[in-house]
Amino acid sequence: MKVYFLSISTFADNQLNLLHHLAEDIDISYGVIIPCKRANFNEQELRSSLAGQPKIKFNAFHLKYRFRDPRVIKTYVEIIRAIKKADPDVIYFTNFDQVYINLLLLLLNKNKTVVGFHDVENHSNTRFDFLTNLGKNILFKNFRHFHTYSQSQAGILKKRYPEKKIYTIPLPLIGFGNGIGNAPQNKLTHFLFFGNILSYKGLDILLHAVNRLSKKYKNFRLVVAGRSDEWEKLYENIVEDPEVIIKQVRFIENGEIPGFFDLADYVVLPYRDTTQSGPLMISYNYNVPVIASNAVGFREFIEQGISGYVFDLDKQNDLDRLLEEALHRTPAEYNQLKVNQKQFVEANFSMNSLVERYRAMFSDVSSDGRKSA
């Protein structure tokens, strides 16, 4: 079977390992759109990650302009031509909410195309909300096969479009190489907030909780690692005790990521809403317990007291309780939590299971494509 897997470099962190496994018995063409800004991976990093896998044909498509600039259409036309030339049995496209590429995808065979959706429904306070919904609706109305990464998003899509065929397969674990294994041996507990700082991720909720916690305790640090265009405007003024905050508000290189998770005792995910979280899957990969909100998108991926702990967004200051409990947890209790999390992850997110589900999805879509030919 031949599959053309078209995506954007922003999502490569959760695709590279998966593609290596899929390529064992599927001929993969991996087309990656590399934005002019905030690409996460450059072409050389992607090529290096795919070295030694001759069954993956790699195509990089560089955008010279912003997504909303109509001049990107020229590159998108090249992508459509490349897919048609490859003549795959299945086309897999990971949607990233851009109108121009989504319109051009209508030139492809819709019956053998499956579209992956991280967010069927936009997060709160999404920028350019109208345009992203326009991009989504082009795909929803014109394609038949869809892949979601959570049951909650599948339910939303099924309710809107009951006639569509929906496959639900979670994100794989996300890793960036081995950790350095030299976290400081001291009595400080390190909480980590990791990833792009956006309104829906609730960093302000965490910062307010840390303010209250720091009035009682000094034996912890909150590491904030991720880029933000609005740190000074929205977050800096919240911080009351700079001593307990370690700020790394910038673009985090992939090679730095294991070090942040090595240092962390807990990854905190105070999201107001979510579908499925990349930082959660990185935490699971590096066996770091999580403290997360009870946003709908987390409920099917976190087991209370096993893989981490969940606080109630609607209960005032409930996050404070979990942060304080973490400070009082004994080393034996914490080590047992890590053991429990590791077993939970192995049972629910094994690569073998995910690969089989992708193979089954591709086989099904390929069969539908042949029937309609």
Closest CA to 92 of 105, 103, 78: 105
Give the 3-state secondary structure percentages of the chain, helix then strand then coil, rounded to 5.
Answer: 45, 20, 35
Closest CA to 121 of 109, 136, 100: 136
E strand or H helix that includes residue 21? helix 16-22
Q: For every one of its 373 residues, what pLDDT tens digit does the chain have, with 9 covering 90 and above? A: 999 999 999 899 889 989 999 999 999 999 999 999 878 889 999 998 888 788 899 999 999 999 889 999 999 999 999 999 999 999 999 998 899 999 999 999 999 999 999 888 765 555 556 677 888 899 999 999 999 998 889 999 999 999 999 999 998 888 887 766 545 456 899 999 999 999 999 999 999 999 999 999 999 999 999 999 899 999 999 999 999 999 999 999 888 999 999 999 999 999 998 766 789 999 999 999 999 999 887 888 899 999 999 999 999 999 999 999 999 999 999 999 999 999 999 988 889 889 999 999 999 999 887 876 6
The answer to whether 15 and 355 have CB atoms below 8 angstroms apart is no
**Torsion from C-alpha of 253, 259, 264, 270, nearest 10 degrees:** 10
Rounded to two decimals, the pTM is 0.80
Q: What is the CA radius of gyration of the chain?
A: 21
Q: Which residue has the tokens 């590491």?
A: 223
pLDDT given at position 182: 47
Query: How far apart are the C-alpha atoms of 284 and 175, rounded to whole Å?
Result: 9
E strand or H helix that includes residue 365? helix 351-372
Sign of CA pseudo-dihedral 123, 166, 137, 66: positive
CATH architecture of 189-348: 3-Layer(aba) Sandwich (3.40)
pLDDT given at position 247: 96
DSSP state, 6? E
Pairing of strands 113-117, 90-94: parallel
pLDDT given at position 130: 67
pLDDT given at position 165: 96
Query: How far apart are the C-alpha atoms of 98 and 115, rounded to whole Å?
Result: 13
The yes/no answer on whether domain 2-172+350-372 falls in CATH 3.10.20.30 is no
Q: 3-state DSSP call for residue 288?
A: coil
Q: What CA–CA distances, in Å, run from 273 to 27, 45, 292? A: 37, 31, 11
pLDDT given at position 128: 54
User: Residues of CATH 3.40.50.2000 domain(s) within the chain?
Assistant: 2-172+350-372, 189-348
Closest CA to 133 of 150, 117, 151: 117
Sign of CA pseudo-dihedral 302, 22, 261, 180: positive
Alpha carbon 87 to chain centroid, angstroms:
29
The answer to whether 242 and 218 have CB atoms below 8 angstroms apart is no
pLDDT given at position 152: 86
Q: What CA–CA distances, in Å, run from 330 to 189, 288, 334? A: 11, 16, 6
Structure tokens at 114: 């499956």
Structure tokens at 17: 């390992």
The contacts of residue 44 (CB under 8 Å, 6+ apart) are none
The contacts of residue 324 (CB under 8 Å, 6+ apart) are 213, 216, 217
Query: How far apart are the C-alpha atoms of 71 and 30, rounded to whole Å?
Result: 23
